[in-house]
Amino acid sequence: MNETIHGMPPTLHDVAREAGVSLATASRSLNGSTRKVNETYRARVLEAAERLGYVANLSAQSIAKGTSSTLALIVSDIADPYFSSIASGVVRDAEQLGLVSTIGITQRDAKRELDIVRTLRGQRPRVVIVAGSRFVDAELDEQLTRELEAIRNLGGRVVMVSQRSLPFDTVQIDNHGGARDLALALVERGYRSFAALTGVSSLMTARDRLAGFRAGLAEHGLELAEERVFESDFTRDGGYDAGGRMLERGIDDIDCVFAVNDVMAVGAMSRLREEGVDVPGRLAIAGFDDIATARDVTPALTTVRLPLEQVGAAAIELATAETDGHAIVTISGEVVVRESTPQRG
Amino acid sequence: MNETIHGMPPTLHDVAREAGVSLATASRSLNGSTRKVNETYRARVLEAAERLGYVANLSAQSIAKGTSSTLALIVSDIADPYFSSIASGVVRDAEQLGLVSTIGITQRDAKRELDIVRTLRGQRPRVVIVAGSRFVDAELDEQLTRELEAIRNLGGRVVMVSQRSLPFDTVQIDNHGGARDLALALVERGYRSFAALTGVSSLMTARDRLAGFRAGLAEHGLELAEERVFESDFTRDGGYDAGGRMLERGIDDIDCVFAVNDVMAVGAMSRLREEGVDVPGRLAIAGFDDIATARDVTPALTTVRLPLEQVGAAAIELATAETDGHAIVTISGEVVVRESTPQRG
DNA sequence: CTGTTAGCGCTTTCAA
DNA sequence: TTGAAAGCGCTAACAG
């Protein structure tokens, strides 16, 4: 591992010279797929490469081959456990495949997402996984679709992680079904008057979950009045805030609150605790996602478990599979009842 | 935004032809730094690029310029809030600088970390930020240093986020000092007999925090016997597990437990709760990091706040500053006392 | 200020 | 099998 003392990295050229073979032979020995190289030469090349500490320049490879070894992952917020779990699965599997993972963060801003995808084209990524939430905005969807199609035209695979909405392979998360099941489970446990804390209505995920929850309630002839739906950011602080607004309005006619995701639920629980509201004694609460923290808050949070790391794996699988570009893999959640929603008299 | 209908992406060549100028002029208009292009031409080029939906091929740029626009971030585990917070800060600032962030996950495996850094060389990254924990292993440190030096020799900036141990610019986190302060604060609040839950001793972070904690106790003539130190994984489940072992041993002679990071503390709290131990009534607990969840568990967790996103920002700053390659920025933590360690009789 | 032309490091025909 | 040589898309001298 004798690095070139000089500033310049050893190139394939150096390796070839060192090994006394041609550039082509060196290339074939080091990276060529179908081995058609004399073992003696091959060994000499490998040895020379080792000695020089040679590592192929990926950029050069990309441009020579016309295809990169990059996987681009787009998430809303990497500090959010929902996305970091997915990212964890994606990056791990990508490494397995020899793909370098790049990451883009949209901060839940549709415009930004578009910008990111646009610059992504410059990377000529082999795979793009868009895990950020979809927005309810036909215009932006249209543009995003065009950008993603452009990437696909360049040979990149595009996989969406979200509800099915854009014409690409997608790992669909059954938000509606999960929320519906949760509603059924809660009614089953004796709850009757609900409130909801939700993200801004332009987020499809928030919408779908709320709609699913309502559908579940409807099956029991219950409904969730608009005035009991508190909209805020799709974050812990958003939940904290929405919880506060709910308290201001008054909770006399509420026995259970559904937060459309766990981080909001957790934020709301903290707010309720601060305001002296007994959870679950006075008010039960449930979330969605089953992030790690759900087990660790007190009371432990009832939620809908989503196999998040598996979602990442599924996305990669889809990206490497032969599909017509419109394949859908649905991941369903499973209701996990914990102490935050005890059986109710 | 008329994409080329064909499979091939528009190249700079296409843009130049379309605009009726030379390749060089097109390049200068689009990316050249010092503007020396007639406004008319420039406009024509921009317009043509827009029309064709041209986006420069980053790989080609990298190789032509001899320098990439990649920032490589290495973390132990992106699903861990400690690292995802840092990553969040890093990626955000990197985007500002027009750098593409790639991410590598070591899974707290020193060998793996070395592999990752090695393959990183292929990217010829402009910046490498190593945020994974350091290990107590001179041999591996030696090798890692060599690899990182190789990257630096190629013009890449290397920044470590951790204790100061390798000869690179580093954002040093004052683990020792923070833990010491925490110990002092706990003694101040009346605690006298401590136990500790810690990560494997080969992790420098775990070591330093434990040492700092002991140093703080020592200032009051207290000590932490080895038999009250429970070693496990540096994760939530590790804390859960270590907490269990502590209970098995018996906690009659313990009034406060220090977990070397918040996720372990949170795991331990869950275990204690499950086993019916009243926290903080019977046993107080404190952590380190101040992850978001620390506020949301019950009781809220006393900890040492580390400005994590700021750590990421500091790393980028160091990477873009003029340094001798041995600069150190120290980030100190601040004790945050919450309900998990009430004042004691 | 603009265009021509040589590379950047690597892969891949195409002959030998 | 191996090597020579022609690119891949872009930038950066170097002349005009």
Given CB atoms, is A298 within the 8 Å cutoff of chain B? Answer: yes
pLDDT at B34: 66
Domains of chain A: 12-65 (1.10.260.40), 70-173+309-332 (3.40.50.2300), 175-305 (3.40.50.2300)
- Phi, psi dihedral angles at A272 (to 5 degrees): -60, -40
Supply the pTM of this predicted model: 0.94
Contact at CB, A9 and B124, closer than 8 angstroms: yes
Positions of chain A with pLDDT under 50? 1-6
Chain A residues 38-97 within 7 Å (CB) of strand C? 54, 56-57, 60-61, 63-65
pLDDT at B250: 96
Task: Work out the pLDDT band at B38, boundaries 50, 70, 90.
Answer: confident
Asked if B260 contacts B199 with a C-beta cutoff of 8 angstroms, the reply is: yes
pLDDT at B2: 42
Region B230-243: mean pLDDT is 97
Question: What pairs with residue A257 in β-bridges?
Answer: A195, A285
Nearest residue: Cα versus C1' of D2: A25
Contact at CB, B58 and A123, closer than 8 angstroms: yes
Task: Work out the pLDDT band at B312, boundaries 50, 70, 90.
Answer: very high
Given CB atoms, is A269 within the 8 Å cutoff of chain B? Answer: yes
Residue B164: which residues within 8 A CB-CB, separation 6 or more? B170, B172, B328
In three-state secondary structure terms, A23 is: helix
pLDDT at A35: 64
Q: How high does pLDDT run on average in chain B?
A: 94
pLDDT at B68: 93
Pair of tokens at residue A243:
């919880």
pLDDT at A4: 40
pLDDT digits (tens, 9 = 90+) for B3-18: 444 468 899 999 999 9
**DSSP assignments along A131-195, one per residue:** -SPPBS-HHHHHHHHHHHHHHHHTT-EEEEEESS-SSSEEEEE-HHHHHHHHHHHHHHTT---EE
A residues 99-138 lying closer than 8 A (beta carbon) to B:
100-105, 118-119, 121-124
Q: Which helix (H) or strand (E) holds B103?
A: strand B100-105
Region B263-284: mean pLDDT is 98
Question: What pairs with residue A127 in β-bridges?
Answer: A71, A157
pLDDT at A135: 86
**CA dist., res. B77 & res. A91, Å (int):** 10
pLDDT at A33: 65
**CA dist., res. A143 & res. B263, Å (int):** 41
pLDDT at B294: 98
**DSSP assignments along A39-103, one per residue:** HHHHHHHHHHHHHHT----HHHHHHHHT---EEEEEES-TTSHHHHHHHHHHHHHHHHTTPEEEE
pLDDT at B33: 65
pLDDT at B35: 64
Q: Measuring CA to CA, which residue among A319, A299, A315 is closest to residue A307?
A: A315
pLDDT at B155: 86
Given CB atoms, is B160 within the 8 Å cutoff of chain A? Answer: no
pLDDT at B219 over 60: yes
β pairing state of B303-305 and B334-336: antiparallel
- Phi, psi dihedral angles at A76 (to 5 degrees): -75, -40
Question: What pairs with residue B302 in β-bridges?
Answer: B286
pLDDT at B37: 84
Region B252-268: mean pLDDT is 98
Asked if A173 contacts A163 with a C-beta cutoff of 8 angstroms, the reply is: yes
Contact at CB, A122 and B297, closer than 8 angstroms: no
Given CB atoms, is A84 within the 8 Å cutoff of chain B? Answer: yes
Pair of tokens at residue A193:
């008057």
Among the residue ranges A24-33, A241-250, B239-248, B335-344, the one predicted with the least confidence is: A24-33
Q: Which amino acid, residue B206?
A: A
CA angle, corner B287, sides to B282 and B289, nearest 5? Answer: 160
**Mutation site, A97, A293, A308, interface B, largest B CB count within 10 A:** A293
Cα four-point dihedral sign A11, A12, A15, A20: negative
Q: Measuring CA to CA, which residue among B254, B259, B260 is closest to residue B277?
A: B254
